[in-house]
Amino acid sequence: HAKNSGRNTFRIFKPGMNTLIEKRRALEVDLDAGIARGEFELFLQPRVDVVSAEVTSYEALLRWHHPERGIVSPVDFIPVAEASGKIIALGEWAIREACRMLSLEANVGRLSINVSPIQFRHTDFRRRLDEIVRTAGVETKRLELEITESVLIDDDKRALKILNELKVSGYEIALDDFGTGYSSLSYLSRYPFDTIKIDRGFVSNLGEEGSAEAIVHSIIDLGGRLGMTVVAEGVETLEQARFLARSGCDELQGYLLGRPQPLDKIALSVPAEVVAGLAMEIHGGAETP
Ligand code: C2E
Ligand code: MG
Ligand code: MG
Ligand code: MG
């Protein structure tokens, strides 16, 4: 390789870029085979009600068990799948797998699935979703669709129409990573969201940046006034959990409550010290079970 790129070769890319592009290309080639060979898995992460300290639902998060690379993160392969269009097949696989879990597993009441903007905009999205869900015999209200603000920016009339149709079909809709990107407060009232998820960037800055507390307070207040369930993502410490409970946040998600795990290893309950800490904020004292 190095021998061929002689002195006169015009190099467009900076050093290091080649390898990134090559890595992405290799992943893209492997994606189809990976789906066919069953290398993907949905890990589940619990979402916990602050007041009852019970698991309300789980977020489904894709993992790729790559034969050579080991577990590949969605942060690495989702952009590749989006750029190549393979996110459509992968997204449908995830919906089918989530429905399979919902139909088999009594412990899982509701699952949230992440829907890529590319997938959401695809003309066939709603029809394919309905078909998969109907075939699996799963009630639509047991599925929550997580979308990000980028879905709303490009063609907001069409996005609104699709979201309203999804609501009519009975799906729950969540706005993921709220507060990042091009957040506009008007989105919240214009679109039929059941849930908003505060981006974990704000949660991790709690206690470190005064502004994070103000922002988190405001999102919780606004979401509450608009009748939405407010979920905080990326909760890692008891201090964060207690601040969020005091602030009136409805649900918590993060490593403190449970890491994403395969279906047979998911947390069905919350660690006792977390339950006690939340009870202290909500009821003004630790309750004996
Ligand atoms: P997301 O939807 O915002 O998911 C939350 C991410 O935060 C997950 O990363 C989760 O593992 C991580 N997380 C949860 N709790 C904590 C915590 O306490 N601390 C920290 N540091 N991280 C925490 P993950 O699983 O790597 O997924 C990354 C992103 O990839 C997701 O962000 C989502 O945008 C995308 N993704 C994952 N699965 C799918 C999928 O099936 N379809 C699509 N389109 N995107 C997916
Ligand atoms: Mg999500
Ligand atoms: Mg998120
Ligand atoms: Mg995210």
Q: Which atom of ligand 1 is nearest to the CA of 177?
A: 3
Q: What is the pLDDT of residue 106?
A: 79
Distance from the CA of 283 to the center of ligand 1, in angstroms?
31
Residue to substitute in 114, 202, 231, 235 for testing ligand 1 pocket (most ligand atoms within 8 angstroms of CB): 114
Q: What is the pLDDT of residue 179?
A: 86
Residue 211, by phi and psi: left (phi above 0), alpha (psi -120 to 50) or beta?
Answer: alpha
The residue whose CA has the least distance to atom 8 of ligand 1 is 61
- Cα Rg of the chain (Å, integer): 21
Tell me which long-range contacts 277-281 makes (C-beta under 8 A, separation of at least 24).
277/238, 277/241, 277/242, 277/245, 278/50, 278/51, 278/53, 278/241, 278/242, 278/245, 279/53, 280/242, 281/242, 281/245, 281/246
Q: Which atom of ligand 1 is nearest to the CA of 260?
A: 11
| 245 close to 282: Cβ distance less than 8 angstroms | yes
Distance from the CA of 61 to the center of ligand 1, in angstroms?
6
- Distance, in Å, from the CA atom of 72 to the CA atom of 77, rounded to the nearest integer, reads 7
The residue whose CA has the least distance to atom 15 of ligand 1 is 254
Q: Which atom of ligand 1 is nearest to the CA of 61?
A: 38
Q: What is the pLDDT of residue 110?
A: 97
* pLDDT, tens digit only, all 289 positions of the chain: 444 444 555 555 555 656 778 888 888 989 989 999 999 999 999 999 999 999 999 999 999 999 999 999 999 999 999 999 999 999 999 999 999 999 987 789 999 999 999 999 999 999 999 999 999 999 999 999 999 988 887 778 899 999 999 999 999 999 999 988 776 778 888 899 999 999 999 999 998 878 999 999 999 999 999 999 999 999 999 999 999 999 999 999 999 999 999 999 998 899 999 999 999 999 885 455 5
The residue whose CA has the least distance to atom 37 of ligand 1 is 61
Distance from the CA of 60 to the center of ligand 1, in angstroms?
9
- Distance, in Å, from the CA atom of 102 to the CA atom of 120, rounded to the nearest integer, reads 22
Burial of 186 (0-12, 13-18, 19+ CB in 10 A): exposed
Q: Give the dihedral sign, CA 161/165/232/260.
A: negative
The residue whose CA has the least distance to atom 4 of ligand 1 is 61
Distance from the CA of 267 to the center of ligand 4, in angstroms?
21
Tell the residue number behind the tokens 């412990």, with chain if given.
107
Count other C-beta atoms under 10 Å from residue 171's C-beta.
21
Q: Which atom of ligand 1 is nearest to the CA of 82?
A: 44
Distance from the CA of 7 to the center of ligand 1, in angstroms?
44
| 231 close to 197: Cβ distance less than 8 angstroms | yes
Q: Please tell me the pTM assigned to this model.
A: 0.92
Name residues contacting ligand 1 (CB within 6 A).
Answer: 45, 61-62, 73-75, 78, 91, 94, 114, 116, 146, 176-177, 200, 233-236, 254-255, 260
Residue to substitute in 35, 58, 61, 240 for testing ligand 1 pocket (most ligand atoms within 8 angstroms of CB): 61
Distance from the CA of 51 to the center of ligand 1, in angstroms?
24
